[in-house]
Structure 1
Amino acid sequence: MKNWRTAFNKNRKTTLFRMSFWYILILLLTVVFIGLAAVTSISYQLYKSTEHEINYVEKQLHKESKEKNPDWTDSLENIFYSQHPDFYVHIETPQHKTIYSKGSESITDNNMYKFKLSLFSSIAFKKKLVPIYHHHFLYNGYTFDLYVRMISIHKFISLMIKVLLVCILLGTVFGALAIYQLSKKLSRPLMEVTSMINQVTETNDLKQRVPVPESPKEVHELALAFNQLMGQLDQQIERELHFVSDASHELRTPLSAIRGHVELIKRHGNDHPELVQKSMHFVDEESKRMQRLINQLLMIARLDRRSKELENVNLSMIAKNVVLDYATDVKQHFSTEITDATYALANEDYVHQVMVSLLGNARKYTPEDGWIKLIINRDEHYSYIIVQNSGSSIPDDEKEKIFTRFYRLDKSRTSENGGSGLGLAIVKELVELDEGSIWVEDVEPTGSAFIVRLKSRTANSLK
């Protein structure tokens, strides 16, 4: 009993159970409503027919009451038993004499439950719930009470109740089976998707994908969304694993070098003092390199959790402030082309970091006799940050890859310049947080242009 109750409590929360329950309930309510509507409609028609007959009998009684010495016994026989065998009458004469039609004595007692339909008419129930129509009227000093046993309505209502009960029983049995099968068929795709999701959860196999049914549409879209989520999660985990691996490798290299020089100082430092100075310089450079790498890793971690706070920022003003700090350390020929009052929807700190990083990257890979140019301009819809530099161009097949974490065009050159392969990856994430885009184009005759495009705003634009 307890197991059955537990299973029932578990299943009643399922979509299959709820669909079946509500379908059956709606079916029953529909059958009952149709049955009651039919009973009410036909009963009303039978009632109106009885009312018309009462009016006819009333007219006949009016005519008889006008007679000087009416023979009520003969008249009642003629009025009722030829065409109205279920009619009964109780007449009280002006002399207070009571006259009953044949068989009406028992039907006119007070042992009845009555309810009024109108001022002069009512319905009473007595003996097997057969409805009795009662009509009371006065005419020419006589008091008349007409009673009609509405047997036809009683038989009809009894028959309809039996039919209705049979329909409810059959409808419940066959409807429940049909609705259960239909609900099971409709919910099968959802159950399959749920089962597959549980399997993926239990096995932790992010490569698995749930089947995508063609219908119903909601389950189709759910399966697609889940597969898309699993794909994104799988890619994210792979990126994180790759990131951890690359970060470990990048940190291992300077640590190994530092460790080697420490061992060298331990072994030969006392005998060769010149090695101490050389090794200390190397340790200092490698520790700075590690510090830069760790700072970049921490920045990427913060960017992954940082919320967007975009506002209307003045790119022209930010660029001029960056140039003041940047131009003093540049050995290459440096120039600017800044359009005043260039605004964009962005985060001011992000924009500042993007400009500094792109100019630093340009300085790193531009020969000392080369040139670097910073351009700020806008068009009708977008504002642009463009950093151009001379030097070697970037191959077309690597223009997208350079924005990947730890990716380097030239391993030896990057090592020489102390790069970590994270600078442009950080720049891309900052630009995307500003809801912008970044790409690389070639500069003639040789060189590259890093182009950042942001949504344009005016000085009076709201946030």
Structure 2
Amino acid sequence: MKITTKINLLTTVWMLCILILINFVVYISFMKTTINMEEDTLFQKAGDIVNEINTKQSQSEIEDYLSEHSYIRIIEPRNKIVHEVTNDKILSKKIKGKYTKIKQAKTYLISEEHGEEQVLVVRVPINNGNQFKGSLEIGERLQGLETRKEILRAILIFCTIIAALLSLLGGRWLANMIMRPISNMIKTMEEIEKSGVPKTITIQNKAKDELQTLVKTFNRMIDRIQINMDKQKQFISDASHELKTPLTVIKSYANLLRRRGLENKDLADEAIKAIHSEATRIQKMTDTFLDLATLEKVNVLEIKEVNLVSLCKNILKQFKDVYRREITLHSDGFPIMISADELKIKQVIIILLDNAMKYSKDKIDVFLEKNQQHAIIRVKDYGIGIPEGEINNIFERFYRVDKARSRETGGSGLGLHIAKGIIKLHKGEINIKSKEGEGTEVVLFLPILE
């Protein structure tokens, strides 16, 4: 069953339930109000008769108070009727007299040839001083009540049918209005499924409601998918371009060896060395691609307490031993504790130190600081620097300021992109300050462990 049909049926059923409840209340209220009005009239008449009896001490004139299809009785204790006047003998026969000491009213339902009919009976005590002499009973057919009931029922049924029809039409219009953007979304999704090209939904309704929010959210999702697809295409293109050069070199030297063999030892050594170098470069690039893919997984962090001071000391000692470069750690010596994945943070620091060594020949300074909220790592070199117009693009995949120099140093343009992704996973920030010809400073902000 379609959602529009469900909405239509539910609104109609709900409306009918409300109307039935309202009709029931109206019907009961009408009956009660009508009977109460008749009771008040009969009680007033009974009061006048009792006053006349007490004043004139006569029961002969009560016949003047008879209305159409009614009776008046005077009843003594033990339900003995001492006086009765009536213009409807059938009615007086069907309703038995009853003596009472209190004022009361009661309705009876009697059967007639043309159907059932209600009778209203009121009883009031007759007293003279403190001595009860009997009770007065007045009965009267409620002739117009059944007719009014039938008219009321017909009106209520007619109004209910009209309301149900209007509810069906209104529910259909409401369902179509609600489902229009959803239908457009389904249609757009089907078109995307067939064509494979992301498309957004045109917002026709300018009302600021949940449906417009749904459409805007869908459009934002499509925009992000389009951006990711563009990035994916760019990544494939850049990766293919990066792999093309070393593969071409390897293929060229392999063909050279195949044609000339190993007779020329110098040429063979040169070819083997070049093939090994380019294969190593491809291996490093593949490892970088794997790191990049790992970053896009949800659960990639193994969080634990990490002392940044100890971590940086170990990393710098390894770099000094391997590369024989002057790298100085500036710290007050006190532990700086963070909650992080130690291997990932180590990878970021290595990426920053590796870049600093590639693009500078002088010393490298590493500063460790902290404030109330963050641990701060600053890696500063005094090399070639980055042009001011290039800083905003430095974190893009495969982006390199000097492509020729990057090939000489073995750079792939993915290091800073990976570093930024790792820092983002740790809910931190990475900023770069650089001036061309003077050097570069990379600053990391990581949440401090309280």
Q: Shorter-normalised TM-score: what interval?
A: 0.7 to 0.9
Corresponding position: 1:77 with 2:85: no
Aligned partners of 2:223 and 2:170: how far apart in 1? Answer: 39
Aligned partners of 2:55 and 2:214: how far apart in 1? Answer: 89
Per-residue deviation at 1:355?
0.7
User: Which residue matches 1:293?
Assistant: 285
User: Which residue matches 1:347?
Assistant: 341
> Counterpart amino acid of 2:354?
G
CA offsets, 1:39-67, max 9 Å, x none?
Answer: 33343232222222333444456568779
Equivalent residue for 2:120, pick from 133, 137, 142: 133
- Alignment check: 8 A CA contact 1:384 1:451 kept: yes
Give 1:35-434 correspondences, 5 Å limit.
35-59=23-47, 62=50, 74-80=60-66, 84-89=67-72, 100-108=84-92, 121-126=105-110, 127=112, 128-135=115-122, 140=132, 145-206=137-198, 208-212=199-203, 213-307=205-299, 309=301, 310=303, 313-339=306-332, 340-367=334-361, 370-434=362-426
Could you say if the C-alpha distance between residues 129 and 343 of structure 1 is closer, same or farther in structure 2, counting changes exceeding 3 Å? farther
Per-residue deviation at 1:175?
4.5
> Counterpart amino acid of 1:357?
I
- Alignment check: 8 A CA contact 2:104 2:122 kept: yes
Could you say if the C-alpha distance between residues 198 and 75 of structure 1 is closer, same or farther in structure 2, counting changes exceeding 3 Å? farther
Aligned partners of 2:316 and 2:435: how far apart in 1? Answer: 22
Per-residue deviation at 1:445?
6.6
Q: How high is the TM-score relative to the length of structure 2?
A: 0.84
Per-residue deviation at 1:232?
0.9
Q: Which moved more, 1:27-36 or 1:313-322?
A: 27-36
- Alignment check: 8 A CA contact 1:35 1:160 kept: no
- Alignment check: 8 A CA contact 2:383 2:437 kept: no
Q: Secondary structure at the match of 2:351?
A: helix
Could you say if the C-alpha distance between residues 226 and 311 of structure 1 is closer, same or farther in structure 2, counting changes exceeding 3 Å? farther
Per-residue deviation at 1:329?
2.5
Q: Which runs of 5+ in 1 are unaligned?
A: 1-8, 113-117
Q: How high is the TM-score relative to the length of structure 1?
A: 0.82
Q: Secondary structure at the match of 1:324?
A: helix
Could you say if the C-alpha distance between residues 272 and 293 of structure 1 is closer, same or farther in structure 2, counting changes exceeding 3 Å? same
Q: Secondary structure at the match of 2:248?
A: helix
Q: Which moved more, 1:317-326 or 1:127-136?
A: 127-136
Aligned partners of 1:196 and 1:445: how far apart in 2? Answer: 53
Per-residue deviation at 1:86?
4.2
Aligned partners of 1:366 and 1:313: how far apart in 2? Answer: 29
Aligned partners of 1:149 and 1:54: how far apart in 2? Answer: 12
Aligned partners of 2:63 and 2:56: how far apart in 1? Answer: 19
Per-residue deviation at 1:374?
0.7
Aligned partners of 1:283 and 1:109: how far apart in 2? Answer: 126
Q: Which runs of 5+ in 2 are unaligned?
A: 97-101, 127-131
Aligned partners of 2:71 and 2:286: how far apart in 1? Answer: 109
Aligned partners of 1:324 and 1:32: how far apart in 2? Answer: 86
> Counterpart amino acid of 1:211?
T
> Counterpart amino acid of 2:346?
H
- Alignment check: 8 A CA contact 2:313 2:329 kept: no
User: Which residue matches 2:99?
Assistant: none
Aligned partners of 1:129 and 1:375: how far apart in 2? Answer: 103
> Counterpart amino acid of 2:311?
I
Could you say if the C-alpha distance between residues 328 and 65 of structure 1 is closer, same or farther in structure 2, counting changes exceeding 3 Å? same
Q: Secondary structure at the match of 1:106?
A: helix
User: Which residue matches 1:454?
Assistant: 446
Aligned partners of 1:77 and 1:203: how far apart in 2? Answer: 96
Q: Which moved more, 1:252-261 or 1:370-379?
A: 252-261
Could you say if the C-alpha distance between residues 79 and 188 of structure 1 is closer, same or farther in structure 2, counting changes exceeding 3 Å? same
Aligned partners of 2:77 and 2:103: how far apart in 1? Answer: 23
Aligned partners of 2:305 and 2:72: how far apart in 1? Answer: 97
Aligned partners of 1:77 and 1:197: how far apart in 2? Answer: 87
- Alignment check: 8 A CA contact 1:385 1:451 kept: yes
Aligned partners of 2:350 and 2:228: how far apart in 1? Answer: 28
Could you say if the C-alpha distance between residues 54 and 255 of structure 1 is closer, same or farther in structure 2, counting changes exceeding 3 Å? same
Could you say if the C-alpha distance between residues 269 and 194 of structure 1 is closer, same or farther in structure 2, counting changes exceeding 3 Å? closer
CA offsets, 1:206-259, max 9 Å, x none?
Answer: 2x2211231252121112111111111111122122222222332333233223
Could you say if the C-alpha distance between residues 227 and 94 of structure 1 is closer, same or farther in structure 2, counting changes exceeding 3 Å? closer
- Alignment check: 8 A CA contact 1:308 1:434 kept: no
Q: Identity of paired residues, percent?
A: 21
Q: Which moved more, 1:434-443 or 1:31-40?
A: 31-40
